[in-house]
Amino acid sequence: VDLVFDVIGGDVQQQSAALIKPGGTLVSIVGPVEARPADGLAVDFVVEADRADLGEIVQRVRDGRLRTNIGDVASLDDAVGALNPTTRRRGKTVIRVLP
């Protein structure tokens, strides 16, 4: 493959690095890249958001300029089960902290 965007790391990153063709790229958001493609590029991608940036995202969602893909909303009490589902779910899981 030309590009792998790794959001898991570990063994998945190791296996993915082996699939990258010469000149391809492995991008990781889980920390320093441990598995490097044989003849490709490895990139660490780190995002540090600040309060103003996060506020802008919230405003875009409220205005309808940014759509979200929420698959499940769970209470904090149900967080462990919600984040470890027994079946595959589409969308992001949101943990509601406030009542």
Residue 49 has pLDDT above 80, yes or no: no
* Amino acid code (one letter) for 20: I
Q: How confident is the model at residue 46 (pLDDT cuts 50, 70, 90)?
A: confident
Q: How confident is the model at residue 98 (pLDDT cuts 50, 70, 90)?
A: confident
Residue 47 has pLDDT above 80, yes or no: no
Nearest to 34 by CA among 6, 3, 54: 6
Residue by residue, DSSP assigns 22-44 as TT-EEEESSSS--S--TTSEEEE
Q: What does the pLDDT read at residue 32? A: 82
Chain mean pLDDT for the chain: 89
Q: How confident is the model at residue 86 (pLDDT cuts 50, 70, 90)?
A: confident
pTM of this structure: 0.50
